[in-house]
Structure 1
Amino acid sequence: MNVSVAWEGVYPALLTPFTADDQLDLPLFEKNLHAQLDAGVHGFIIGGSLGEASTLLNHEKIDLLQSALAVCESNVPVLVNIAEQATKQAVACAQEAEAAGADGLMLLPPMRYPADARETVTFFKTVAQETALPIMIYNNPYDYKIMTTVAMFDELAKLPNIQAVKESTRDLTNITRMRNAFGDRFKLMGGVDTLALEALLLGCDGWVGGLVDAFPQETMAIYELAKAGQVADALEIYRWFMPLLELDIHPKLVQYIKLAAQATGIGSEYVRAPRLPLIGTEREQVLNVINTALAKRPTTEKLMSYK
């Protein structure tokens, strides 16, 4: 039975842990899930950019999904990311995820081909019409070179299962444009870690996070404080967090955030080729950011006092 997706709160874009011999590390994956559930996250997204979607085999995505569903025990929704080049592949992946028990989907525009507005809307509509699952559109023109505009969302609003948007345009005014155009028709989830507090204060319903994979308690504290109107307290943690959050907006965000999750004991730095683990000066620089933050990390007692 599917869990209802509220599209509110913190949804980690999960890392995919690998072993030294390039197999899925499901025990470590489950350890991370438990740490995030203990912190109070509201849902999970499997196989996104941080999850190394481009290198995962379809059966591996299903293995991750089934592992997450077993850990979550229907307490929070588990979503699968759809990032494919061909429409029929996207439909097949959506249907496979639905059959395997996914509670919802995050849907990217066509990969590699820079589709125009008509093609992009047709792509989204076709996938949505072939599944009953609720869908969040990932709007990230910065990385994927396709902007889903207000006019395009006006067309997508006709499909009831297209329900939410991961707002990653890096243009905070787009949150207000979407609210002015659609009110509450679409739930909005901030998708850029370095703009997360701003997005929440401007009216986003939730936060699809990256550094939450390494720092779930801190992420949850910012979200809860922002929603409670305790902006000064949220800002104090956010300012501490910012050097770490900036790891999320680098081309090597996967390697950087995996190194952070390893440092906090809930991940490893193994990645899948063509990515390679960090070495030399670059690794030292990232570790310096992580270790400097860890030395000044808010105490668990302080974070718990916000609940």
Structure 2
Amino acid sequence: MNPHPAWLHGLFAVLPTPMAAGGHLDLESLDRVVDHYLAGGATGLVPASIAGEGHLLDEHERRLVIERVARRSAGRAPVIVGVLDDSTHLALALARVAADCGASGLLVKPPRSDAAAVLAHVDTIARALHLPIILMDHPKFGGLLPVDLLQRLADTVPEVCGIKVEEEPTPEKMIRVGAALGTRLGLFGGLGGVHCLAELAAGADGFFTGYPHPDQLVAVMACWRKGDRAGAAAASERMMPVATWEREHPESMILQRKVILRDAGVIAEAVVRQAATAAA
């Protein structure tokens, strides 16, 4: 499937999962979350990933969230679902749920294991479902993805078409990946967009992040693509108070995003299932 699909560019919004007091799902607020990110210019939607507390949802809740996002988006944007389990058996089950719900692709966290196990894990999911796979590259949450392993994955698993780079320094990692693989893998930043200008300069095709003001990050990309570097820098400056705060307080990032969305009238309550550290 290399090269990557035509839709794999721009902002893929890593959606927060709204919850009501007591911790149960608030699906009406989730509808508004979808609308908020699409209105802000997101080109794709990512439910049930780490910043969406996907690892804290049970199987029934995950299906409800994915189905609701797919229904609400109604074909307006591809839905890329987080597949987070280190167990290949469980990850494959989660990926099947995503496929059943109409996912366009999968955001796969590699297991914390050696290169052979990572290859086998990703290949098993790919062979079963034949959906585009974007790899999550964040050493804090998953296995390591050095450039030589990425090259082996791209060579042997054609469904692998992109990487969300969060191994810092991210621009340098993107440059190394681009030098080794050219345009075979789409390159995406995360980490709340805090390095967005440097990542665009390093060849980023877009971002996978739940940064709560999507229009601001979309403006950075739009200016950059037009060659308006001053405009991109100004748009980036508008992002930095929130993006920098998130970087400095990762343990509170999910809650802070929900507070911002609650105060904007997007979700009803700012409730997290448990204190969680995330970076997307």
State the TM-score, normalized to the length of structure 2: 0.90
CA distance in structure 2 between the aligned counterparts of 1:91 and 1:5, rounded to whole angstroms = 25
Structure 1: stretches of 5+ with no match in the other structure: 276-307
Whether the 8 Å CA contact 2:15–2:51 is kept in 1: the answer is: yes
Pick 1 or 2: higher relative contact order, CA cutoff 8 A, min separation 6.
2
Match for 2:123: what amino acid? Answer: K
Structure number, greater radius of gyration: 1
Whether the 8 Å CA contact 1:10–1:209 is kept in 2: the answer is: yes
- CA offsets 1:170-207 (integer angstroms, 9 cap, x no match): 22211111111111110111112211221112211111
CA distance in structure 2 between the aligned counterparts of 1:68 and 1:100, rounded to whole angstroms = 9
Whether the 8 Å CA contact 1:5–1:134 is kept in 2: the answer is: no
Pairwise mapping of residues 149-160 of structure 1 onto structure 2 (< 5 A)? Answer: 149-157=146-154, 158-160=156-158
CA distance in structure 2 between the aligned counterparts of 1:175 and 1:106, rounded to whole angstroms = 18
Which of 127, 130, 153 matches 2:128? 130
Whether the 8 Å CA contact 2:109–2:142 is kept in 1: the answer is: no
Pairwise mapping of residues 1-307 of structure 1 onto structure 2 (< 5 A)? Answer: 6-110=7-111, 114-141=112-139, 143-144=140-141, 146-157=143-154, 158-171=156-169, 172-192=171-191, 193-211=193-211, 214-249=212-247, 250-267=250-267, 268-273=269-274
Match for 1:195: what amino acid? Answer: H
Match for 2:108: what amino acid? Answer: L
Whether the 8 Å CA contact 2:110–2:142 is kept in 1: the answer is: no
Q: CA RMSD in A?
A: 1.6
Which residue is 1:280 aligned to? none
Task: Report the identity percentage.
Answer: 25
Match for 1:125: what amino acid? Answer: D
Q: Secondary structure at the match of 1:163?
A: strand
Match for 1:16: what amino acid? Answer: T
Structure 2: stretches of 5+ with no match in the other structure: none
CA distance in structure 1 between the aligned counterparts of 2:245 and 2:18, rounded to whole angstroms = 18
Shift of 1:42: 0.2
Runs (4+) of structure 1 exceeding 3 A deviation are: none
CA distance in structure 1 between the aligned counterparts of 2:246 and 2:227, rounded to whole angstroms = 25
CA distance in structure 2 between the aligned counterparts of 1:9 and 1:174, rounded to whole angstroms = 19
Match for 2:183: what amino acid? Answer: D
Most deviating of 195-204 and 117-126: 117-126
- CA offsets 1:236-288 (integer angstroms, 9 cap, x no match): 1211221200243312211122122222222331111356xxxxxxxxxxxxx
